[in-house]
Amino acid sequence: MPPEATHDYFMRLALNQAKIAKAHGDVPIGAIIVRNGVVIGRGRNQREEKNDPTAHAEILALRDAAEQIGDRRLIHCSLYCTLEPCIMCAGAIVHARIEHLYYGASDPKAGGVESLYQILEDSRLNHQVLVHAGFFREECERLLKEFFDRLR
């Protein structure tokens, strides 16, 4: 595993993706997928840029990773994202078989992981994901707050 392969390193990469989304006029959310310490997928919110309601950072990172490895099952992979995934993204994370989710800010209005629903840990589904919340929470929250403050 590369020496830089730490949770902090990968969350910083996700934050960089969020900043790129912000620069393109999208809500600043970023996601990174890692397998064996190597980034295999990147995504940033592109809903406005692509006029696509499904162009969430997590979905785009999942697509990128699946394409990179040639398999829709992202076994032994971790997903790092700046905001708690919504229910759509949480469902996709389960279907992709992500092993670990690390996220920054909670989403009390649309969170599908812990805030409103607990999709990733639902024992009725055929796969559960280990959830690690609060990574770089303050920085992730600040980025979102600054973005929405500018819109008002």
Q: Mind telling me the catalytic residues?
A: 58
Structure tokens at 129: 């994901």
Structure tokens at 68: 């990179």
- Span between the terminal Cα atoms of the chain, in Å: 44
Percentage helix, strand, coil for the chain under 3-state DSSP, each rounded to 5: 40, 20, 40
Distance CA(41)–CA(114), nearest Å, equals: 24
Q: Which residue has the tokens 């992709």?
A: 96
Rg of the chain taking only CA atoms, in angstroms: 14
Alpha helix segments (H runs only) across the chain: 7-23, 47-50, 57-69, 87-96, 137-151
Distance CA(109)–CA(144), nearest Å, equals: 14
